[in-house]
Amino acid sequence: MIIAALAGNPNCGKTTLFNELTGSKQHVGNWPGVTVEKKEGNYKKDNNISIVDLPGTYSLSPYSAEEEIARDYIINSKPNVVVNIVDATSIERNLYLTMQIAQTGTPMVVALNMMDEVESMGIDINTNKLSEMLGVPVVPIVARSGKGIEKLMAVTKDTAQRGIATLKQDVYDKIKNIEENKNDEEADILAADMRYEYIDKVVDSSVFKPQIKKLTTSDKIDQIVTNKVLSLPIFAVVMYMLFACTFSENFLFIEGLPSPGVWLAGVVESLWGSLTGVVDAALVSAGVSDWLHNLVIDGIMAGVGAVFGFIPLVLVLFVLMSFLEDSGYMARVAFVMDRIFRKFGLSGKSFIPLLMGFGCSVPALTASRTLESDKDRKITMMVTPFMSCGAKLPIYLMFVATLFADSNRTAIIFSIYALGMVMAVIGSLLLNKFMFKAENSGFIMELPKYRIPSLKSVGIHAWEKVKGFAIKAGTIILFSTILIWFLSNFNMSGMCDMEESFLAIIGNSIAWIFAPLGFNDWRASVGVVTGWIAKENIVATFGQLFAGVTDEAVLEAVMAGEQGLPAIGDVFTKVSAFSYMAFNLLCMPCFAAVGAMRREFGSMKWTLKAIAFQMVVAYVVALIINVVGNIIF
């Protein structure tokens, strides 16, 4: 068995090569922007060669978490051979990593990628000379078309079997000596200079560039999309299209035309509905007991169905996001937005997750992976749920229809959305000041050349994301649904009405917590709890608990704000209703989002910290609303 590790700069075509080598089946979740974990697969033409895809890195010195993964793997796990992918269009910068890998003494092969682009730029590379100067085999390839890949693998296998280290050991030893003998920080910089000095020599003698430089298409596009005046309007249009394709009920302003996302969601929902019907009939004909029927249909099928219902939205959103990321446009957006977001203690790269938060926190939290600064990423994830997601809207509509019927409804709803945005800004400022001591990292980002993404790679990206989302969010949703179903249907003496259930007991016992916020009522506290399963659940809970409404059609009318629930007026005032909306907006998001947080933080401790932060913010804001509101009104 030969283990070959793929290493290279971000955007050098590493993932494309990995897919080409292993076949898409072995692909285990690559996220545009950052490959956080390493991935493994077998070479499809020779199962004895195992391919490990390492995160894209600029160097082996640990600057970020990804670089550390790559370095630790090469040094500690000792692969038989490293295949270093070098983007031939920016060979000088790419060779820096090559020099560092060579220095580790691991047998290596350089795969000189994007040779087609190099040729069209009129650049001529003498690969024999390059190989001789670097002391390692160099194989020219075009990863996208698969050209040169068989030869690359033959050379890789040969190198691994012979186990030869680099030939130009003298050069690497010299650099190593400097690093080891001088232990001040200057040594690293001196070593870096020496590497570049040698790279200059290598490039001078093996790469021949034409003298005349012409403006490339990428340059021309950049002149427009990073233009002072045009950049923001262009971005607004692109984002609007992204959301319209995913969430719009009136796509392209055509009344009643569903967007691809909404259409697909409808299809999945109706399929799930039929499946539920089949299961229902099967259970009835099997003569199972009431509680089991109730658990399967109202608990499991309804709960899991809620997740499946929004998978199509996530899929469409991610296909489009992957397309934008693969094209290279997102890097420009991050650059343009950075100045504004820096003021809030965030990075330009935080913008995408926050914007996506208006749709759904789950994909938004996942999108935060593109942030490479750990601090920026954590803060972004902690405040993303403050952006009011689609599922929270029915809550506002319900209250507005009942309690604010005489006020400007749009203004009330808009003020809740605005509150979320303001709290995201204040929250990140506070987190920056008190929780994260690290200084603001500067913004530095490579702007890759624009490329038309291949449908295959976009499809794979999107599918992998959706799959992971469905599995992980599905498990946590399933578990919580069963739990809440149990709590709301049972008490110590067995099955019972909801008013006497464990949930009611719990609701009563925690109601005092919310008393200072203005809603000291067990049904309101139960609403908060069921809201954690899915925020729109609050409306269903209220319908059931306040008015005995279980009819789908009535609930839908309430959710759409077309009909009020007058019974709510007995418990809530305008002030406490606003406080309740604010609390549910800001407090812990639904379990699906918590699952996403858990996955993205990669740590339970940080997930709990984030939840605690959101809870405290929600409580304080709702308290202020209640106290100040009662003084004014």
Partner 1 sequence: MMPLAMAPAGEILIIKNLRCNEETKKHLLEMGFSTGEKAEVIKNTSSGIIVNIKGVKIALNRGLATGIIVEKE
Rounded to whole angstroms, how far apart are CA atoms 101 and 172? Answer: 10
Decide: 500 and 491 in contact? Cβ < 8 Å: yes
Residue 20 vs 67, nearer CB to partner 1: 67
CB within 8 Å of 333: residues ≥ 6 apart: 235, 348, 351, 352
**By CB under 8 A, is residue 24 in contact with partner 1?**
no
**Residue of 46, 124, 173, 219 interacting with partner 1 (CB under 8 A):** 219
Residue 432's region, left for phi above 0, alpha for psi from -120 to 50, else beta, is alpha
Rounded to whole angstroms, how far apart are CA atoms 431 and 375? Answer: 10
**Binders in 428-447 for partner 1, by CB under 8 A:** 440-447
Residue range at the interface with partner 1 (CB under 8 A); choices 70-78, 215-223, 234-242, 384-392: 215-223
Cα dist from 353 to 391, 516, 533, whole Å? 17, 33, 22
Q: Minimum distance between the CB of residue 139 and partner 1, rounded to whole angstroms?
A: 21
Q: Minimum distance between the CB of residue 490 and partner 1, rounded to whole angstroms?
A: 57
Q: Minimum distance between the CB of residue 194 and partner 1, rounded to whole angstroms?
A: 10
x/- map, 172-191, partner 1, by CB under 8 A: -------------x--xx--
First-last CA distance in the chain: 76
Q: Minimum distance between the CB of residue 198 and partner 1, rounded to whole angstroms?
A: 12
Question: What's the token pair of residue 127?
Answer: 């690969």
**Binders in 49-68 for partner 1, by CB under 8 A:** 58-59, 61, 63
Q: What would you report as the CA-atom Rg of the chain, rounded to the nearest whole angstrom?
A: 28
Residue 128 vs 441, nearer CB to partner 1: 441
**Residue of 45, 220, 339, 433 interacting with partner 1 (CB under 8 A):** 339
Q: Minimum distance between the CB of residue 89 and partner 1, rounded to whole angstroms?
A: 6
What length is written for the chain?
A: 633
Q: Minimum distance between the CB of residue 267 and partner 1, rounded to whole angstroms?
A: 41
**By CB under 8 A, is residue 238 in contact with partner 1?**
no
x/- map, 85-104, partner 1, by CB under 8 A: ----xxxxx--x--------
How big is the site for partner 1, counted in residues (CB under 8 A)? 38
Residue 171 vs 466, nearer CB to partner 1: 171
Q: How many CB atoms lie within 10 A of CB 63?
A: 12
Residue 186 vs 249, nearer CB to partner 1: 186
Residue by residue, DSSP assigns 251-271 as GGG-TT---HHHHHHHHHHHH
Instruction: Give the angle 467-469-474 at the CA atoms, nearest 5°.
Output: 100
x/- map, 347-376, partner 1, by CB under 8 A: ------------------------------
Residue 227 vs 603, nearer CB to partner 1: 227
**What DSSP character marks residue 547?**
H
Q: Minimum distance between the CB of residue 347 and partner 1, rounded to whole angstroms?
A: 9
Decide: 245 and 259 in contact? Cβ < 8 Å: yes
Residue range at the interface with partner 1 (CB under 8 A); choices 162-170, 332-340, 521-529, 545-553: 332-340
Residue by residue, DSSP assigns 90-157 as GHHHHHHHHHHHHHTT--EEEEEE-HHHHHHTT-EE-HHHHHHHHTS-EEE-BTTTTBTHHHHHHHHH
**What residues line the site for partner 1 (CB under 8 A)?**
58-59, 61, 63, 89-93, 96, 185, 188-189, 192-193, 196, 218-219, 222, 226, 228, 331-332, 335-336, 338-339, 342, 440-449
